[in-house]
Amino acid sequence: MTVQESSEITPERQPPGRTLVFMPAFNEEFTVAEVVRSVRAELPAVDVLVIDDGSSDGTAHVARRAGARVASLPFNQGLGAALHTGYLVALRGGYDYCAHLDADGQHPVGELRRLLATVWEERCDLALGSRYHPDGTPPAGGYQPTLARRIGISLFRRLLTLTCGTSFTDTTSGLRAANRRAIALFAHRYQPDFGELESLQRSVREGLRIMEVPVRMLPRIAGSSKITAPHFVFKGLLVVFVGALRRAEHQERPC
Amino acid sequence: MLAAVSQTSVHLTLQSRVLAALLGLGFTIAILELIRRHKLQERYTALWLLVGIGLVLCAVFPQLLAVAADALGVRDTNVALFAVLIGGLVLVVLHLTVVVSKQSEQITRLAQELAIARAEPPPAVEEEELAAPQPRVGIMP
């Protein structure tokens, strides 16, 4: 389940198929351009898409100027809907691989490349960037979540382990890479609330090969986390509980 | 508080309690099943689940209703039961009305976005057509 330095891809090497890197962005005008530029510099062969989730600031404009294709949702639809949009673009655009990362600059692009390498090499259908993987050694100055967040994250991790029978160290990370099979699954449906949990449950249920890759996270440059509110936990529990009652649909059909 | 509770007597028969408990339980299960089948989104179910679970709780612990009856200033737990249920329903309906209002606004906006995206540029006018006098139909001089 672990990938270390073995999957180093040299920048000159071309990915084995068309790849889309997308990032959901809600009012991230201070960071999105830098993230777009670093993705384009590190991975010149991939297409970069920013999903502007109804931002009220200059996110779309700044992202476009940095060289990204921008899909603007007319109103804020939440992270799940934004990611769903990305997977739909990947499916409709005939991309073989896709990956997404946060637009706030928390994910180093080098880590994104390692994640993509695992799907490029067909070692898994879905690669998850894990911040809490035991094999990952967070360097000083890395990402340090608050206590409340740590409790929440560990709660959902345990629940998912309980209901899926598979253990994950990080279920809410916004860093993922997917191949065509996972793209089709997520483009078909991606839940607006807690889509990251539900999509993971569904991936396990549908028998995707999932791999966790330890990643290093940077502290947030600007903006604030959207995960707060007490009813957050209630809804999350509901999603995981009901998700555990679902059966596999085994749909491979493109939509 | 205990004195207050003892003033209001619990007027629920065992039959109505069992009925209410089964109703609440069936309701809660129905909601969960609808979510499982992707017919309901989790974000709209919190209030419904509260109503269902509240009904079960009231049936199992009628003392809760006695407390509610006392707080409402009514003597009868049956009245309190109805008051609690109607209160819950009003909340759900209000919530749904807020959602519907927001959605109708968003649908209008989506239609506008689509119309703008589909708006075709005016057809390129040929040189000869430009030279010839254009017939004016329906345009005020």
Nearest to A238 among B42, B109, B113 (CB): B42
- Whether B71 maps to a domain, the answer reads yes
- ipTM of the complex as predicted: 0.70
- Whether B141 maps to a domain, the answer reads no
CB contact (8 A) between residue A75 and residue B49: no
- DSSP three-state, residue A31: coil
Residues in chain A with CB shorter than 8 Å from the CB of B117 are none
- Whether B50 maps to a domain, the answer reads yes
Q: Name the CATH code of domain A16-244 (choices 1.10.760.10, 3.40.50.300, 3.90.550.10, 3.30.1490.100).
A: 3.90.550.10
**Total of domains in chain B:** 1
- Whether B27 maps to a domain, the answer reads yes
In whole angstroms, how large is the CA radius of gyration of chain B? 29
Report how far apart the first and last C-alpha atoms of chain B are (Å, whole number). 83
- Whether B126 maps to a domain, the answer reads no
User: pLDDT, tens digit, for every residue of B23-43?
Assistant: 999 999 999 999 999 898 888
- Whether B94 maps to a domain, the answer reads yes
In whole angstroms, how large is the CA radius of gyration of chain A? 17
- Whether B91 maps to a domain, the answer reads yes
Residue of A76, A242, A249 to mutate, interface with B, max B Cβ within 10 Å: A242
Edge to edge, what strands does the sheet with A176-179 contain?
A69-73, A47-53, A19-25, A97-100, A176-179, A126-130, A210-214
CB contact (8 A) between residue B110 and residue A189: no
| Sequential pLDDT tens for chain A (255 residues) | 444 444 444 544 678 889 999 999 999 999 999 999 999 999 999 999 999 999 999 999 999 999 999 999 999 999 999 999 999 999 999 999 999 999 998 888 999 999 999 999 999 999 999 887 777 655 544 566 677 777 777 777 787 787 777 778 887 788 999 999 999 999 999 988 888 888 999 999 999 999 999 988 887 655 555 555 567 777 888 888 888 888 877 655 444
CB contact (8 A) between residue B113 and residue A74: yes
Domain of B57, in residue numbers: 2-117
- Whether B123 maps to a domain, the answer reads no
A239: closest chain B residue by CA: B42
CB contact (8 A) between residue A74 and residue B110: yes
pTM: 0.79
Residues in chain A with CB shorter than 8 Å from the CB of B46 are 231, 234-235, 238
Chain B closest-CA separation from residue A76 CA (Å): 10
Chain B closest-CA separation from residue A191 CA (Å): 8
